[in-house]
Amino acid sequence: MFALTPFERKSFDLFNAFHDFEKDFFGEDSGMISCKTDIRDEGDHFVLEAELPGFDKEDIKLDVSGGFLTLSAEHNTENSEKDKDGKYIRRERSYGSYQRSFDVSGINTDNIDAEYKNGVLFVDLPKKTIPQPETKRLEIR
């Protein structure tokens, strides 16, 4: 009897009650889009890599406003098959959107560069150069 019933051991954490809320409520493969993002420090610039599979380059927008870089992506695809009477035999719709913001207060926003290749968005974020204080030797009288 238990071999046919999905069984999973779960523990309840009082301090983190909603930890796996989305996964528990919608299921493991809910179709909810998540974007995994890595940020590397390359010395004079940061490199942001965001996985956006299934999106076209035209579906992705990068906006800088108020000290934040906002990454947003949205797509809508529709596949349908009809029989000879025009009734649907199978209809699959897929809609996905994503939005995330990053603090760019220490970034030279005029020189941000982005490239989308093979489902991964690469954003080059050059750091602001802090002018070094000028040292000046004074003459002693």
pTM value? 0.61
Q: Does domain 35-126 have CATH number 2.60.40.790?
A: yes
Determine the pLDDT at residue 28: 46
User: Do 49 and 28 form a contact (C-beta atoms < 8 A)?
Assistant: no
In what order do the strands lie in the sheet containing 45-51? Answer: 37-41, 45-51, 120-126, 113-117
Tens digit of each residue's pLDDT (9 = 90 or more) over 90-128: 656 666 788 889 999 889 999 999 999 999 999 999 999
Determine the pLDDT at residue 92: 63
Structure tokens at 95: 């809609």
Tens digit of each residue's pLDDT (9 = 90 or more) over 29-52: 444 456 789 999 998 999 999 998
Structure tokens at 49: 């890599």
The domain limits of the chain are 35-126
Tens digit of each residue's pLDDT (9 = 90 or more) over 54-63: 788 999 999 9
Average of per-residue pLDDT across 6-11 = 49
